[in-house]
Amino acid sequence: MMTVKLVCVGSLKEAYWRQACAEYEKRLSAFCKLQIVALPESTLPKEKDAILKECEGYTVALCVEGSSMSSEDLAKKIASVSHTASKITFVIGSSCGLDDAVKKRADLRLSFSSFTFPHQMMRVILLEQIYRAFTIDRNMTYHK
């Protein structure tokens, strides 16, 4: 079973964000082993060091200048990675973004939108899209 790791700078302060994440964590347990690492917000250089220590396997950095892809494309990418790596790490930066060294370390720089989202919301959106990707790959009815 593939391991999906989320490295997130910042914590989930409100209960509704924690509840939404918990729902997708539960759903994802049928498809992968999920690890979520929440790192404290700091300066970009300190965050960079902490993030780079957590990057394992195929690494995807979420950043506005990254490539965009559809849900179907993300499903194909995760399926493809699962053939060559047992772990995929997704990185969500702080409100200051990600240090260039983290972006350079990434195997893929991914943009969900040119909009800026709060990191708490982005964590929920990312978990939902990972769940959607697994259901697409298995031809389940969740994705319409």
How far is the C-alpha of 33 from the C-alpha of 56, rounded, in Å? Answer: 14
Other residues' Cβ atoms within 10 Å of the Cβ of residue 93: 25
Residue 37: phi and psi, rounded to 5, are -115, 115
The CATH number for 72's domain is 3.40.1280.10
Query: Is 133 domain-assigned?
Result: yes
pLDDT digits (tens, 9 = 90+) for 110-130: 999 988 888 899 999 999 999
Tell me the C-alpha to C-alpha distance, in Å, between residue 74 and each of 50, 54, 114, 131, 139: 26, 22, 17, 11, 14
**Quick one: pLDDT at residue 18?**
96
Tokens describing residue 93: 């930066």
**Quick one: pLDDT at residue 109?**
98
**Quick one: pLDDT at residue 143?**
64
Other residues' Cβ atoms within 10 Å of the Cβ of residue 125: 16
* 17, HSE (Cβ side, Cα atoms, 13 Å): 14
**Quick one: pLDDT at residue 98?**
96
Structural domain span for residue 113: 3-137
Query: Is 142 domain-assigned?
Result: no
Q: Which pTM was predicted?
A: 0.95
The count of domains in the chain is 1
Query: Is 143 domain-assigned?
Result: no
pLDDT digits (tens, 9 = 90+) for 40-91: 999 999 999 999 999 999 999 999 999 999 999 999 999 999 999 999 999 9
